[in-house]
A and B are shown apart, each in its own frame.
Chain A
Amino acid sequence: MPTITVDLDDLRGLIGHGALSEEEIEGHLALVKGEIDGRAPEEGEAAVRIELQDTNRPDLWCPEGIARQIRAKLTGKIDRDYGSAFEAAPGEGLFIDADASLEKLRPVVGGFVVQGVTIDDAGLTGFVQTQEKLVDNYGRRRENVAIGIYDASRIAFPIRYAGVPRDGDVTFTPLGFEEAMTPGRVLEEHPKGKEHAHILDKGGKKADTVPMLIDAKGVVLSFPPVINSRELGEVKPGDDHLFVEATGHDAYAVTLALNILAANMVDRGGTIRRVTTRYPYDTGLGRETVAPQAFGRGQSATTTVRDVARFTGLDVDEAEVTTRLLEYGVTTEAKDGQVVATIPAWRADYLHSVDVVEDYAIARGFDAFEPILPEDWSPGKLAPETELEDHLRDRMIGFGFEEIISNLLSSRDRERVRMGLGAADAGSDAEDEGAQTPPGSPPPPGGQLVRIVNPMSETFSALRDWLIPSLLRVEAASAKALYPHRVFEAGEVAVADEKQNEGCRTEHRLAGLIAHASASFTDAHGALHLLMDDLGLGESYELVATADHPTFIPSRMGLVRAGKGDAARVVGFIGEVHPQVLDAWGIRAPVAVFEVVQDILGPIVRG
């Protein structure tokens, strides 16, 4: 969601209808899903930052668009004539001709000429901001849409949208540099070239041919989507005859960007002359396209008065719906309860009839909708795994354990190395092939940690797959806390499991830790026994000795087995932590632990 800087005085001028107070403006910002996000004193006394939520409404990312939406509400309609931009005949002799070689490279180009807007410093800054928001957010950093602006009086039409060799005869002086260079050199040496080279050099493969806008006299306008030329691509305050172009991959996206910029220019008092592009290939909008234009797709939708009433919960009629929509700048043709709604050319966000309903609701204002409660009855219910977890938590607390909660993101260092499972020097993404893994269930354990490829730090680079490290984390940080320590955590872990569609299974586990000057296996066994006994398994569970495990003192670790006959399963493990592990955590008190898998315990308990 973009945030833009707006000069409130400029915005007031664009809205008209008397100078609105800041509060009034703020109130109207709901119409554009906007919110004042503080002042911007570095940009001037009346400058504020406005945060705009709707990523689908790039027309609102500028003061002109915000003012346009507010004006519609104040006047009840679209109150300006945008005919020169969207309806007038294309400008005579204003052509751009695209080379066939651009079809695979960057196929779409369009533009318009505007007269009657004198660009001053502030206007230029404003235009640059609008252009940046469009190309960065909507145009995905020039990948999908790039925009250029020029002094039209120095350009000789028709313009050629040419595919030129990367390092051939065609050279130009880029903005910010003093000497003429080939586009290839611009990509290597110019800051903008380096920044945007990847758009042309797909997959690291250098493009042999690059796009270039060249006027009828052979002078270079620009090297889209990278940089304008100094010869023709520099706009100075005082220029009042401008050429605006946009290039990209999708004819609709490029045209929408031009529609928005043209509407803005009209709002600033300009008159548009539309430019025709001629292609030797099809663009989705034909081989000959005019910009700006209302292109239809995403610009109208059909709903019914009944649907508006149903979705909003209000009793409405046709007149109410059409009047409100017009207040939002939406024109309608309504007949027999059917409403065909059309939005202006600077929008293209009507994907579905529900979008019309939202426009109606916003125009009406959410305050007009009296909240009511759903009357349907439904039973409140916890998930079975939560029921069990809450039961176990309750018991652990009754046994005198203090609950802790940990982040699920951990690291190989914490989950493996410090636990005595895997070499310290093997690196954070070591796979520990063949190394011992946490004891667990069902054996053999899954083995690998679920690692992430793009961690922000090594500390949080993998999901935990057992709880003991989380508990040791607490013991390590609590040497000064009054002893004895009896802590537990009930929570999720992710255990690698090739059998699962997602490559791992999320388990709910519960683990307890006891630490004090003489904590022992028996302490942990005592707590585990209380828990198993509470679950009705006190008679039947058994501790099964296993091969020595590096996390635990030899012979003081066992698997917990519960259930009857064939249904018997390993539900967890218990043990006295090896001093080497305690050393690795910097723990100076003996520690005994147990851990059980709730998801395995559940079915056994429920029988």
Chain B
Amino acid sequence: MTKTPRSDQAGQGQLMLSGAQMVCQSLSDLGIKHIFGYPGGSVLDIYDALFQHGDIEHILVRHEQAAVHAADAYSRATGKVGVCLVTSGPGATNTLTGIATAYMDSVPLVVLSGNVPTYLIGNDAFQENDMIGCSRPIVKHSFLCKKAEEIPAAIAKAFYIAATGRPGPVVVDLPKDTQNPALKFPYHLPRDIKLRSYNPTVKGHGRQIKKALETLLAAKRPVIYVGGGAIACDAAPLVTRFAELLGMPVTCTLMGLGAFPGTHKQSLGMLGMHGTFEANKAMHNSDCILAVGARFDDRVTNNVAKFCPQATILHIDIDPTSISKTVTAHVPIVGSVDHVLQQMLDELEAHPVRPNEAALGEWWQTINNWRARKCLTYTDSTETIKPQKVIETLYKITQGDAYITSDVGQHQMFAALYYPFAKPRRWINSGGLGTMGFGLPAAMGVQKAFPEAVVACVTGDGSIQMNIQELSTCLQYGLPIKIISLNNAQLGMVKQWQDMFYSNRHSQSYMESMPDFVKLAEAYGHVGMRVSDPADLERAMSEAFAMTNRLVFMDIQVDQAEHVYPMHIKFGAMDDMYLSKTERT
């Protein structure tokens, strides 16, 4: 069976399909081109149907966790829903870290998991696992199909729920007997999904919008604080228009990087635990903060009791639970960032009131004084490679226009701080869950979505080893990812905390018996490079990126003693920061 006609068109004969075929047909009718997965006993019928269907490209990973991360990053980079397919039991449990990662960062995913036949559910059957139960706290919703006929509607609803409102992962669990290729049923994929119990609010309340604008325009020291919500609904151009129109300073969260160009003169860079001096200072001293699709995460606020004491909080978020959860919003606006900002721009057009220029000028003067502190300055060396230098070199060589995926740790913060993203969906990292092992499979997802794009995975010697097996997947699909591994032979962020707060007791943060990453890359059929001399860095990286059709693993031996600064002082306010090993605010 290939290219079956769409069944919902009037006048055509009823299409009869097995449950397994319905899975494939539903996916291709929903426009899915790629799925990431791993076969196994409970999904063999689906894999067989996929083989015969032919329209959907399946990417075979080496571990199910990687399938989810790849689908997740595919979604983050494209804005489409990512899809993965795994078998029951261990196949399903292996996806949980990936699902939790996507859930924390509000990424739309559909995870199709096989299960034992319905008549064996509850019997401790081979490779049985209660996937619906296991995934419940980390999904937006889930479906267990007990009959083949339920499959198309469950899949259609799953896509609808995943992509609308605050996006998130949805699990569809498919017991083996529902897939039976011998039993055919009428196929009907519902197109216009409506759920009486699920109606996300996208448009903001008119009066609240007016009130928020009045407050913002009257402010003397305003800050626009932008989060991942602005990227999720593709509102980056609106953020820029809005900010430029009002001439106000903008800071982005780790998840919001790229929603406003990091290179823009109004950009203060990232805020929060490792935010810039000027961003954190501006927030603390602000009299009005407009939060745009951001959720006042604990990695942003530091001590909530001391958070921005003078600020009136205006909060736009599509998820009502994010509003006044940690920081009370004085003017809450429930709605999608794109809708609300458009409404605000319309309002500004109708009533061309502008901020107080004198006050704003004074505010910028203060901010520029903070900027003059140049908090990202570091002492370069001719002896050892500084991790900051690696990111700056990466920025230079890729002209700031690459897709950068990252793992979790010091390298992630260095990348976030030293690679100013000019566009949304270019910075792909696990912000909420902080999942080590995310970077390489994420890079696979991005490269699969954009085969011609430059994709670099900034990682460390700890993180890369958490999903290193995916080098094999990269070979199979010819994914020319550039792995920029900041190798300090330490779990750098753990060590930084041990240096700072545990009197240098480096408990289990030192990695002995590090593999030879160059040989490892070569063993997987890729190019490996080791760089340890600062003088070689730029040339080597240029060579790596010149190999446009090869995966290059750059094992870059960086300074082991380097820390990430600025860094919030625990239990302090937004503006309480360590600025270097010897300076603090």
Is this pair of chains taken from one and the same complex? Answer: no
